[in-house]
């Protein structure tokens, strides 16, 4: 058995499962009417179509919400809806999700139907207010749900306990896409199969929202990347251009690390409307202008992020004994603190909350890992916060600034009450196979590429090679923060591995004996190609 087949076998991919994984079938999609309330939503939209009602899509300022909003604007236009607009909340004005004020403003425009995307499951009072104003609401969402559903016409959410849908981990854009598939059974304008041209948006939102890339998500992203390679949407074509992504080489990593951060920068610093305008642009020059604006905002975001991170690291020293890190300060842009929380989690191996103090109120984001749910921790502090929620691994919270110490105490008590065991080990890379360097070839790397798209639920394969001798060592970077090692195994085969922003224990001495965990890749430099590795973990023998 060759090394590639060993990797597949290690992941349980043999026989028919192997073939289905390597060749994802879009046609294996699930019946959209298995989602709760889908029939009611379609009936209401068919009525709205016949009466030419004014519809507002209530989006969200992250990529999942923006792609879902664009997808519905695009699809509804093809179905012949002519009176549709979109409302994207501002992180610094409305905050996440529906607000009563926004609902009242939408009603004042004459809208009689709101379709939410990526939000709405917990918006009971906002939906009640909409009904009072004569506005129906259809919720499409994938976040946690309330024990009792809000009084909307439909609450389409695969996480509802009364669902019968075979796959619950759709992104918000994935749920919106299921609504489009359901509408295809009742309305003309988008023939069966033509909805596949929307998969570029589905792929972008799905990857960037970090849902698991298995089942329907894997198929949608797999085929969505092929649509992206055609670059038919001016906005995404322009964004790939400014991000240096060649359409023919686009992959899930391109979405998560090149396109995604630029789109998110708009909502983090100013308004996500810039990103929506880029996605919906029909004119190539306007699309390029918006894409360049996003690129500039992303550079500003990175500068601000570095400042906040340095200050947060200083503050973190005061709470070194806490299993959950909670840091806060005035002036930390709460549009950026979620990224900082992820960086602190990586540095300290702790679930982390980072908050901006804004006078009497504080607002921020959490990042977690393993078995600790950030959303459940927030729920455990319900009586001392203003609002909060989200996912297990990423959540947001708003609370009175004076309650931050009590909140810190409460989430740490919640962590200790969970009696979690050996959580930090979960952050270590998990190898797929152990192999000598002889098997790490360019052919293997091309075979591994057939396992794309990589992401949550389908990580890029990790190899481990044991009993190596360090024969070359070089520090790199302006602050000597990167490391390149040359390693030789017992057979005499050599491989160079690189780690950027490496932790101190990666800087081993020449001559040391080590075991490494790494991901192989092809390095191209000055016209030469060589197999190298991205160093993930190292242990001195």
Find, among 428, 378, 431, the residue nearest to 403 by Cα: 378
- Interatomic CA distance for residues 129 and 114, integer angstroms: 12
Same domain for 414 and 450: no
The answer to whether residues 355 and 440 belong to one domain is no
CATH number reported for the structural domain that contains residue 143 in this entry: 3.90.1640.30
Residue 269 lies in a domain: no
Full DSSP string of 445-459:
HHHHHTTPSPBTTBP
- Answer yes or no: do 31 and 57 share one domain: yes
Are residue 394 and residue 479 in the same domain, yes or no? no
Two tokens at 2? 């060759």
Q: Provide the terminal-to-terminal Cα distance of the chain, rounded to the nearest Å.
A: 29
Residue 178 within any structural domain of the chain: yes
Q: Are residues 483 and 437 in the same domain?
A: yes
In the structure encoding, which two tokens stand for residue 88, read together? 């994207």
* Domain of residue 402, CATH code: 3.10.310.30
Average pLDDT over residues 76-89: 97
Instruction: Using pLDDT thresholds of 50, 70 and 90, give the confidence band for residue 392.
Output: confident
pLDDT per residue as tens digits for the range 242-284: 999 999 999 999 999 999 999 999 999 999 999 999 999 999 9
> Which CATH number belongs to the domain containing residue 442 in this structure?
2.40.50.460
Domain boundary residue, one of 138, 166, 196:
196
Q: How far apart are CA 429 and CA 346, in angstroms?
A: 13
pLDDT at 29 over 80: yes
Do 438 and 421 share a structural domain?
Answer: no
Of 397, 426, 455, the domain-final residue: 426
- For 130-142, what is the mean pLDDT? 97
How far apart CA 261 and CA 241 sit, in angstroms, is: 14
Residue 314 in domain: no
Tokens 């949550």: give the residue: 456
The rounded distance, in Å, linking the Cα atoms of 141 and 291 is 27
Decide if 221 is inside a domain: no
Tell me how far CA of residue 305 lies from CA of 239, 299, 336, 341, 486, in angstroms: 22, 10, 6, 10, 33
**Within a domain: residue 1?**
no
Determine the pLDDT at residue 358: 96
Tallying the residues shown for the chain, one arrives at: 541
Residues 487, 541 contacting (CB under 8 angstroms) = no
Q: Is the pLDDT at 13 greater than 90, yes or no?
A: yes
Tracing tokens 């965990």 back to the chain, one arrives at 517
- For residues 240 and 163, which has the higher predicted lDDT (pLDDT)? 240
Tokens representing 36? 């709760």
Roughly what angle, to the nearest 10 degrees, separates helices 63-78 and 260-269?
100
Residue 379 and residue 450 in one domain: no
Distance from C-alpha of 129 to C-alpha of 110, rounded to nearest angstrom:
15
Averaged pLDDT for residues 355-383: 95
Asked whether residue 105 is assigned to any structural domain, the reply reads yes
Task: Indicate left, alpha or beta for 153 from its phi (over 0: left) and psi (-120 to 50: alpha).
Answer: alpha
The parent domain of residue 345 ranges over 320-426
How many CB atoms lie under 10 A from the CB of residue 101? 12
Q: How far apart are alpha carbons 394 and 342 in whole angstroms?
A: 9
DSSP conformation class of 114 = E
Report the percent of the chain where pLDDT is more than 70. Answer: 100
Whether 422 and 460 map to the same domain: the answer is: no
Q: pLDDT tens digits, residue range 409-444? A: 999 999 999 998 888 888 889 999 999 999 999 999
Q: Which residues contact 443 (CB under 8 A, 6 or more apart)?
A: none
d(CA 258, CA 69): 21
How would residue 485 be classed by pLDDT, with cut points 50, 70 and 90?
A: very high
Nearest of 272, 263, 257 to residue 207 by alpha carbon: 257
Note the pLDDT tens digit of each residue in 86-103. Answer: 999 998 888 878 999 999
Dist CA 104 CA 94 (whole Å): 13
Q: Collapse the DSSP code of 47 into the 3-class scheme (helix H, G, I; strand E, B; otherwise coil) and give the result.
A: helix
- On average, the pLDDT of the chain sits at 95
Domain total in the chain: 3
pLDDT at residue number 229: 96
> Is the domain of 444 the same as that of 407?
no
Residue 207 counted as domain residue:
no
Q: What distance in Å separates the CA atoms of residue 440 and residue 463, rounded to the nearest whole number? A: 9
Q: What is the pLDDT of residue 391?
A: 80
Answer yes or no: is 381 within a domain.
yes
Q: 189: which DSSP letter? A: S
CA 198 to chain centre: 18
Q: How far apart are CA 135 and CA 114, in angstroms?
A: 7
If you ran DSSP here, which 8-state letter would residue 529 be given? E
The answer to whether residues 366 and 504 belong to one domain is no
pTM above 0.95, yes or no: no
Same domain for 78 and 54: yes
- Side-chain-side CA neighbours of residue 355 (13 Å): 26
Which one of 150, 179, 196 terminates a domain? 196
Whether 406 and 478 map to the same domain: the answer is no
Residue 1 in this model has a pLDDT that exceeds 80: no
């Amino acid at each position: 058995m060759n090394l590639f087949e060993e990797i597949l076998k290690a992941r349980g991919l043999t026989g028919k499962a192997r073939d289905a994984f390597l060749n994802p079938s879009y046609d294996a999609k699930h019946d959209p009417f298995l989602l709760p309330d889908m029939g009611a939503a379609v009936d209401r939209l068919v009525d709205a179509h016949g009466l030419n009602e004014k519809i507002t899509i209530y989006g969200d300022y992250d990529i999942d919400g923006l792609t879902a909003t664009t997808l519905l604007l695009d699809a509804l236009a093809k179905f012949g809806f002519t009176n549709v607009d979109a409302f994207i909340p501002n992180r610094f004005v409305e905050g996440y999700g529906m607000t009563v004020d926004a609902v009242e403003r939408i009603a004042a425009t004459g809208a009689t139907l709101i379709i939410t995307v990526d939000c709405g499951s917990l918006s009971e009072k906002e939906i009640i207010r909409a009904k009072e104003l004569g506005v129906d609401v259809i919720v499409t969402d994938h976040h946690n749900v309330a024990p009792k559903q809000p009084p909307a016409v439909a609450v389409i959410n695969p996480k509802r306990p009364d669902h019968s849908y075979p796959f619950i981990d759709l992104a918000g854009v994935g749920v919106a896409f299921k609504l489009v598939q359901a509408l295809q059974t009742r309305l003309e304008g988008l023939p069966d199969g033509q909805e596949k041209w929307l998969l570029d948006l589905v792929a972008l939102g799905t990857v960037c929202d970090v849902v698991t890339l298995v089942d329907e998500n894997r198929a949608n992203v797999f085929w969505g990347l092929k649509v992206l390679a055609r670059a038919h949407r001016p906005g995404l074509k322009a964004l790939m251009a400014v991000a240096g992504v060649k359409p023919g080489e686009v992959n899930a990593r391109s979405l998560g690390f090149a396109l995604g951060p630029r789109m998110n920068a708009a909502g983090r610093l100013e308004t996500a409307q810039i990103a929506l305008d880029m996605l919906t642009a029909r004119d190539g020059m306007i699309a390029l202008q918006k894409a360049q604006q996003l690129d500039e905002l992303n550079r500003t975001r990175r500068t601000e992020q570095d400042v906040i991170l340095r200050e947060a690291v200083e503050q973190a020293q005061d709470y070194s004994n806490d299993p959950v890190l909670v840091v806060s300060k005035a002036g930390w842009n709460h549009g950026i603190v979620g990224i900082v929380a992820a960086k602190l989690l990586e540095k300290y191996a702790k679930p982390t909350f980072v908050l901006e103090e804004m006078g009497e109120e504080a607002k921020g984001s959490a990042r977690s890992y393993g078995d600790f749910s950030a959303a459940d921790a927030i729920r455990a502090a319900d009586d001392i916060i203003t609002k909060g929620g989200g996912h297990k691994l990423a959540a947001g919270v708003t609370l009175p600034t004076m309650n931050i110490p009590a909140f810190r105490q409460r989430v740490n008590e919640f962590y200790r009450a969970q009696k979690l065991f050996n959580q930090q080990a979960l952050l270590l890379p998990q190898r797929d196979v152990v192999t000598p360097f002889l098997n790490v070839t360019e052919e293997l790397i091309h075979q591994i590429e057939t396992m794309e798209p990589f992401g949550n639920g389908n990580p890029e394969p990790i190899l481990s090679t044991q009993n190596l001798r360090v024969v070359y060592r070089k520090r790199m970077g302006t602050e000597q923060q990167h490391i390149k090692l040359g390693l030789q195994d017992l057979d005499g085969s050599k491989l160079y591995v690189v780690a950027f922003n490496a932790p101190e224990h990666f800087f081993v001495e020449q001559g040391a004996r080590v075991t490494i965990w790494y991901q192989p890749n092809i390095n191209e430099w000055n016209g030469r190609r060589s197999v190298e590795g991205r160093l993930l973990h190292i242990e001195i023998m």
